[in-house]
Amino acid sequence: MSHPTRRRLLIFSLPLLLIALVALTIVYYRVSPTTSVFFPKCAFLMLTGLKCPGCGSQRAVHALLHADLASAFAHNALLVLSLPYLALLIGARLYVYLHPTSSLRSTIESPLAIRTYFVI
């Protein structure tokens, strides 16, 4: 895909993605995954009785939106620790897309950075 086509695609899709993200954030803020039947339950947990790495993610997001870091960490520590790194990766990709000569992406996505994330 050529650079102007990619830029047009980003200009069109980014606002739609942001609108969807805001709507999802409002839903997660207003509706508690603990008491609501709106949110899906973990199929792995229902089938095996074991918690998967994603178990508690919905409750953790709800707790984070209510600024309850301790509860969010108790529900899913991996998610809480992953969100800042994920935000950094997304920000770096957008920055590199807008500034193609930058070396920021290679630094953030380096093997050392990824290993450090997995150690955490």
Residues of the chain with pLDDT under 50: none
- pLDDT at res. 67: 95
Q: Which residues of 42-72 are buried (b: 16+ CB within 10 A; e: fewer)?
A: beeeeeeeeeeeebbbbbbbbbbeeeeeeeb
Amino acid at 113: A
As a whole-number percent, the residues of the chain with pLDDT over 90 amount to 28
Range of the domain at 21: 3-119
- pLDDT at res. 22: 95
Q: Would you say the pTM of this structure is higher than 0.95? A: no
- pLDDT at res. 72: 95
- pLDDT at res. 29: 93
How many structural domains are present in the chain?
Answer: 1
- pLDDT at res. 33: 84
